[in-house]
Chains A and B, each alone.
Chain A
C-alpha cells in the first residue's frame, strides 16, 4: 500500500507525466513510458516486478466518478 499512499499524496505534482504510464516502487518513480507494456518491460529488466504500474491521466481532476 506504500505506493498507493505515495500516489495519493503526490498525484497533483505528476502533471509532467500526464498521458504516460509510470512504475512506482516505494516512493520513487522507477520507469515511465507511452505504454503499459513498455513500463512493465523496463521494470522487469530492472527486476522491479513489485512496482505498481499506473497511468497518469491527462485530465488531472482525478476524483472523477466512474459509477
Chain B
C-alpha cells in the first residue's frame, strides 16, 4: 500500500447538511456580488440559477453553447453554457456554467466537475462537515 499525502492551504466547515460556500460572481462592469453555491461532486457541470443572468449582463441565455442537463429525477432539459468569472474562497476562477430557463428561479447554484473541480484538489470530511482545498 502506498501512502499519499496532500497539503491543503485552507479548511472550511459548512453549517448545513450539504457543503455550501459563498462565491463572488464578477460581471463585465460593475460590482461583483455574492451568492451561495453547493459543492456538488456528483454534478457533471456547474449549473446556476438563471435569475442572475440580467445582473451579469447576459440578456439572451440562448447565446451560450447548448447543452442537455439531466436533473436528479431524470428529467432532461436544454441549458446554455456561459463562461463566468468567480471568486471561490479568495481564488479567482473562470468556469463554464450552464443555465436552464426551464428550471425555477431560486434553484440552488451547483458547482460541478467540468471546469470547477477540475481546477482544484479538494477533500471532503462529511462526518465533520468540513472540506479542505
B17 at the interface (CB under 8 A from A): yes
Chain A 27-67, CB-CB to B under 8 Å as 1, else 0, gives 00000000111001001100001111111010000110111
The dominant DSSP class at the A interface is: mixed
B43 at the interface (CB under 8 A from A): yes
Q: Report the interface size for chain A: residues with CB under 8 A from the other chain.
A: 27
Residue of A5, A55, A67 contacting most chain B CB atoms (<10 Å): A67
Q: Tell me whether B55 and A50 are in contact (CB under 8 A).
A: no
For residue B124, give the distance in angstroms from its CB to the closest CB of chain A: 15
Bound: A37/B54 CA distance, A:
7
B33 at the interface (CB under 8 A from A): yes
Q: Tell me whether A55 and B51 are in contact (CB under 8 A).
A: yes
Q: Report the interface size for chain B: residues with CB under 8 A from the other chain.
A: 31
Q: Tell me whether B108 and A66 are in contact (CB under 8 A).
A: yes
Q: Tell me whether A66 and B38 are in contact (CB under 8 A).
A: yes
Q: Tell me whether B52 and A4 are in contact (CB under 8 A).
A: no
Q: Tell me whether A53 and B35 are in contact (CB under 8 A).
A: yes
B119 at the interface (CB under 8 A from A): no
Q: Tell me whether B52 and A36 are in contact (CB under 8 A).
A: yes
Q: Tell me whether A4 and B72 are in contact (CB under 8 A).
A: no
Q: Tell me whether B105 and A44 are in contact (CB under 8 A).
A: no
Interface residues of B (CB under 8 A from A): 12-17, 20-22, 30-36, 38, 40, 42-43, 49, 51-52, 54-55, 72, 105-108, 110
Interface residues of A (CB under 8 A from B): 1, 3-5, 7-9, 21, 35-37, 40, 43-44, 49-55, 57, 62-63, 65-67
